[in-house]
Chain A
Amino acid sequence: MRVLLIEDEQRLAENIAAALRETGFAVDHAPDGEEGSHLAEQDVYDTIVLDLMLPGKSGQRVLQDLRRKRLHTPVLILTAQEGKDSIVNLLNAGADDYLGKPFDLGELLARIKALIRRAKGVATPVLKVSDVELNTVQQTVRRRGKFLDLSPTEYRILEYLIHRPRAVVSQQELLEHLYDFDWEHHSNVIEAHISNLRRKLNVAGAEPLIETLRHRGYRLREQGDAL
């Protein structure tokens, strides 16, 4: 999952980005409204954390421009501004959630996860596809009740695929949502991770879960799908 953080307070941005990365998100940081708006309009983010008081372009304008372009990336507003009116205005302008400064870092992470889940049409933190169970809070994966030991990247790939069951996900899309711009990435990295993931998911007596569609990408098969 890839998060865009638009925040001009350098230290705060550093902390939030570090926390998100430690949780397994890819994070891009924009220190002002203009850059934030530009990045957000790439439409590669699973959620956007937006500060209101920004140099260049206010958070409110960034949000309005994003929604005007019919981009529905979930947006969580971070603000130190007072007043119920501004909250109502922001929610009406298309914000999905709101957190006042000073906030709890754990709460921010939980809200970001919830926003992503909801945006992908999932209501609970435990996701299930056929006999695979993925707990987004504990970041654990079980198949047929057995815990699997996945690397952080493997977990993130699986998490992303589980969020989009039966959809064909291209390597490009995986790259965009799993890595931030700071990362050196090549498509064969994805191939290597997918291959490892397949191996670890391979439990005796179970069907292969990840399907490769040549030149198109990967797909998570649900139970009952024909091979």
Chain B
Amino acid sequence: MTGSISITRRLIVTVLVLELLSAVALIGAITVHERHVQLEAFDASLIASAQTLMGAVQDAEDEGDNVALDIREVQLPEDAAFRVEDEKGRVLGSKGEPPVWKTPTSASNAYRDVEIRGRAYRFLLVHGVRVVDAGKADGGVRHGITVIYGTPVGRVWHEVFEAIRFFAIATAILLGLTAAVMVWLVRKGLSPVYELAREAEHISSSNWHFDAPVSAQRTAELKPLVSALEAALARLQGSFEQQRRFTNDAAHELKTDVAIVKSSLQLLAMRTRTPEEYSRGLLCGLNDFSRLEDTVTKLLTLARLESHTENAASGAPVWSCSLRDAVEDAVNQIKALAELKAIDVQTEFAADARVPLDSRDALLLCSNVLLNAVQHSPEGSTICIALTVNEDKVRLTVRDRGEGISDQDRAHIFEPFYRGDPSRSRKSGGTGLGLSICKAICERVGGEIEIANNASGGALVTVALPAEPSPEGSPLPASLKVQSPYSQRRQ
């Protein structure tokens, strides 16, 4: 796979490169140090050899109290070069081609690097005093002796290179060992990652079980990954479950409705009946069919709204309408049903605002919220509707005097088909999709819908929608205000 990065390889290479760099630095330091040490030793041996030569200068046993060099007992390297002179410039003895070199006699040891026949030599110049006949009364004759002694410095470098070679080989062996140990260690260290991957491989939409391996849980670096995986899985599973529940519930709802329609018609066809029986049966069947139609319409509405939610980010909403108009239309629609239960619907509009909703959806939202309130209101009670605008938010509150809402229902009330009863009985009316549709409408434009209990009893539904800046054009003509198909049927 191109572009893939191996942590193992990267770690090992990094460690080896670092190790190599430090080895190189170490070898450099060793070279400098070794050279220094070797040079000091070399100079010391130069001094020692020069002193030996100095010691080999003896009384010549002649008339003039001269000195002579006797090197029979002196052992010098073959390639050494020297010259021994007395104060008069007389050469007492020499070997090779030492440089001609004059220095004041007072000066101490002096060194000079010279190249002789292509070889680098280091020479030392030593001044000394030799006293002939020291036992005499005049203290003997003093001779100032100058020794120039040198040997090739090549040996120093040879030693230094030897040292470097030793360290280089040691480093190479060490690098090899480190690489092997690193491969093993890193593999072992990364094994929790592989175990985690193996465990994660088993996850599928039918098998959500994920048990993070203990090794991964115990690894500090993997813990965030493990918890992130677990959290992501939980969220995914949640939405999968919700989707599945929705599909199951929708199927259950549709099957039940179809079963009713089918049984109504089959009952009618069981035997020959009177025209009155037929017409009554047909009416019943038609009503049953309307219920099925209602469920289908609501499911399709929900599907449409939810597919729009996904596309909402793609562009600014084209539609906008007055929320006050929508509420007023909804109140008009619900009037008949409210009068049937002698419910007083009070409206209090502090302001109006345009909301980024299709007028059809706005009406659907308002009428569903209102219908819910009417359904949960006792006979002869009051429903209060209030509209307030607060900066860029418009808030619609609907208060009823019903039984309120339990905490358990509150958590699920906006889930499709939720009716606060496992049987999904329709005694309370509705398919259980109304509030889900409301929620989908609100969320589509970045609004919110909440349900809470009133301090004085009953439920309080709050719809908060983003308000559009003041209307630029004229409000929508009345002909564009679409009536909700559901409310018509209920009348």
A105 touches B266 (CB 8 A): yes
Does B332 have its Cβ within 8 Å of any Cβ on chain A? no
Q: CA separation between A22 and B271, bound complex, in Å?
A: 9
B267 touches A80 (CB 8 A): no
Q: Main SS of the interface on chain A? A: loop
Does B44 have its Cβ within 8 Å of any Cβ on chain A? no
Task: Write out, one digit per residue, whether chain A residues 106-126 have a CB within 8 A of any chain B CB (1) or not (0).
Answer: 100000000000000000000
B251 touches A19 (CB 8 A): no
B260 touches A9 (CB 8 A): yes
Task: Write out, one digit per residue, whether chain B residues 426-448 have a CB within 8 A of any chain A CB (1) or not (0).
Answer: 11000000000000000000000
Tell me how many residues of B have a C-beta within 8 Å of chain A. Answer: 26
Among A11, A54, A100, find the residue whose CB has the most chain B CB atoms closer than 10 A. Answer: A11
Whole-angstrom distance between the Cβ of B51 and the nearest chain A Cβ: 107
Does B270 have its Cβ within 8 Å of any Cβ on chain A? yes
Question: Which residues of A in the span 46-66 have a Cβ within 8 Å of any Cβ on B?
Answer: 53-56, 58
Set A8, A16, A19, A102: member contacting B423, Cβ < 8 A: A8
A102 touches B270 (CB 8 A): no
Q: CA separation between A102 and B263, bound complex, in Å?
A: 8
Question: Which residues of A in the span 1-41 have a Cβ within 8 Å of any Cβ on B?
Answer: 8-12, 15-16, 18-19, 22, 32
A8 touches B267 (CB 8 A): no
Does B108 have its Cβ within 8 Å of any Cβ on chain A? no
Task: Write out, one digit per residue, whether chain A residues 132-155 have a CB within 8 A of any chain B CB (1) or not (0).
Answer: 000000000000000000000000
Residue of B nearest to A103 (CB): B259
Task: Write out, one digit per residue, whether chain A residues 56-85 have a CB within 8 A of any chain B CB (1) or not (0).
Answer: 101000000000000000000000111000
Residues of A contacting B262 with CB < 8 Å?
A: 102-105
A11 touches B251 (CB 8 A): no
Does B422 have its Cβ within 8 Å of any Cβ on chain A? yes
Taking A53-B422, A55-B421, A80-B259 as known contacts, 12 extra A-B pairs with beta carbons closer than 8 A to each other, sorted by chain A number, are A8-B423, A10-B426, A11-B260, A11-B284, A18-B267, A19-B267, A22-B271, A53-B424, A80-B255, A101-B259, A102-B259, A105-B270
Question: Which residues of B in the span 245-288 have a Cβ within 8 Å of any Cβ on A?
Answer: 248, 251-252, 255-256, 258-264, 266-267, 270-271, 284, 288
Pairs A–B under 8 Å by Cβ, sample size 10: A10-B427, A12-B263, A16-B263, A53-B423, A56-B423, A58-B422, A101-B255, A102-B256, A102-B258, A102-B262
B424 touches A19 (CB 8 A): no
Whole-angstrom distance between the Cβ of A91 and the nearest chain B Cβ: 20
Q: Main SS of the interface on chain B? A: helix
A53 touches B259 (CB 8 A): no
B270 touches A19 (CB 8 A): yes
B259 touches A19 (CB 8 A): no
Residues of A contacting B263 with CB < 8 Å?
A: 12, 15-16, 19, 102-103, 105
Residues of B contacting A55 with CB < 8 Å?
A: 421-423, 425
B264 touches A11 (CB 8 A): yes
Q: CA separation between A81 and B423, bound complex, in Å?
A: 12
Question: Which residues of B in the span 394-408 have a Cβ within 8 Å of any Cβ on A?
Answer: none
Residues of B contacting A15 with CB < 8 Å?
A: 260, 263-264, 266-267
Whole-angstrom distance between the Cβ of A13 and the nearest chain B Cβ: 10
Whole-angstrom distance between the Cβ of B263 and the nearest chain A Cβ: 4
Q: CA separation between A166 and B302, bound complex, in Å?
A: 62
Residues of A contacting B266 with CB < 8 Å?
A: 15, 19, 104-106
B423 touches A32 (CB 8 A): yes
Given contacts A12-B263, A101-B259, A102-B258, contact A22 B423 (CB under 8 A): no
Whole-angstrom distance between the Cβ of A51 and the nearest chain B Cβ: 9
B264 touches A102 (CB 8 A): no
Residues of A contacting B251 with CB < 8 Å?
A: 80, 82
Whole-angstrom distance between the Cβ of A137 and the nearest chain B Cβ: 14
Among A8, A15, A101, find the residue whose CB has the most chain B CB atoms closer than 10 A. Answer: A15
Q: CA separation between A81 and B252, bound complex, in Å?
A: 6
Q: CA separation between A103 and B252, bound complex, in Å?
A: 13
B267 touches A82 (CB 8 A): no
B255 touches A8 (CB 8 A): no
Q: CA separation between A80 and B427, bound complex, in Å?
A: 18
Residues of A contacting B260 with CB < 8 Å?
A: 9, 11-12, 15
Residues of A contacting B261 with CB < 8 Å?
A: 102
Whole-angstrom distance between the Cβ of B489 and the nearest chain A Cβ: 16
Q: CA separation between A54 and B427, bound complex, in Å?
A: 12
Given contacts A12-B259, A12-B260, A80-B252, contact A105 B422 (CB under 8 A): no
